[in-house]
Amino acid sequence: MIGLDFFIDNYGLLLGALFVFVGLMSFVYALGTMHEKGHRLEYYLMLLLIVGSGVGVAFSYNILLIFVFWEVSTFAAWRAVAYYRRAPEIEASTWTFLINFIAASILLVGILMIYNDNGTFSIFDISTVSETAALFVLVGIMTKSVTVPFHVWLAPAYGAIPTALGGSLAGVAENIGVILFLRLFTLSGHGTPAFMEMVAWLAVVSSIVGGGVALRSNKLRNMLAFSTISQVGFVLLAFAVGGLYGVVGGILYILAHALAKSGLFYGVGLIEDVTGEDDLTNMSCMFRLSPVLTLGMALLAGSLVGFFPLIGFFSKLAVIVSAVGHSPYLGIGAIASAVVTLLYITRFYHEVFFGDKCDIAKSRYKRPSNAAVAVVFMLALLSLILGVMFYEPLGFLIAGGQ
């Protein structure tokens, strides 16, 4: 412990480092793409708040302090979604704020109920969490971490937010809910078996439904939004079934997903900028325009699917093993979610980079920013390096759980 209701463990160190790195990549991406779009001071402030709130949650053991960081994240997301000040962005930001505010109010009631029963906000000193308090807290967690049916704010937010801030939203802010679940219920053991079983099934359903909608989506950002719903559901499943494989696999999956999804978000932003299109059916053959971007997006997509030897393979395998060990039916659900992910990622990648309309000479495509392409490729390369050296983060997390 280091005072001020913060503490350091290996889980927090890995998550904190991850969030800072995603924030740094968002900053570098912005340097190459935001110079024409104004409001840059607000952009950097919202980026700092999103990253700072994620780091604060990763290191805090006080649930009231976690709630404060939670609200900082909500405020930053609200302002980030409204960044361009146009009517659609204002509407999406209002929707984002209202849903998250209502859910946070319910979460706060649950936190106060826990305090009333225990006389403390410290996760280490909480001895009991009533079923009612657990359900109130769960509503907040599921809304922040976009679990069906509390996911409805995410797709409009993804459609409106600037790309670089969207990468930090995907890589940082949407993990805050599942981190609270990990700390309060999984590691501290305050979730009853029936409660954890219910959450596991909600997570499986959310993951499959999110992936199914992503498969049917033609809009790039809509596909990314429902992909995030699916992948965060996978993390929640891991933490709900618990055990060594569940905890370590879930944290590794946060790592894999944050790198892959933020990178894919940056890549999609580049594609929108250079083509002027956001519809899968109206673009193709980006590989001829930027082979480096094509390779980088291939690695990121492969990690999200779970291809060997990328970090997504090892984290997804651990989650599936934990689900199968808990219940064969949950294992089948986890495998079904992984198959759906393969389907929608394959469709996305083929349409964008190898589609039928391959006459680049007749297309009015711009050249993508070299700095922004470098960010995508760096995230992809890190996903590969972490996969090849998976035993390093794995051993670090296992040591932190002992």
Mean pLDDT calculated for residue range 98-121 = 94
- How sure is the predictor about 281, in pLDDT bands with cuts at 50, 70 and 90? confident
* Position 305 pLDDT exceeds 50: yes
Closest alpha carbon to 247 in 322, 142, 316, 174: 322
Residue 70 · residue 192 · CB < 8 Å:
no
Q: Tell me, what's the pLDDT at 287?
A: 75
* Position 1 pLDDT exceeds 50: no
Residue 296 · residue 267 · CB < 8 Å:
yes
347, two tokens: 């469709």
Residue 165 · residue 46 · CB < 8 Å:
yes
Mean pLDDT rounded to a whole number for the chain: 89
Q: pTM for the whole thing? A: 0.92
Mean pLDDT calculated for residue range 20-41 = 77
Closest alpha carbon to 369 in 184, 134, 102, 163: 163
Amino acid occupying residue 7: F
pLDDT in tens, 198-254: 999 999 999 999 999 999 998 999 999 999 999 999 999 999 998 999 999 999 999
CA–CA dist 228, 220 (Å, integer): 13
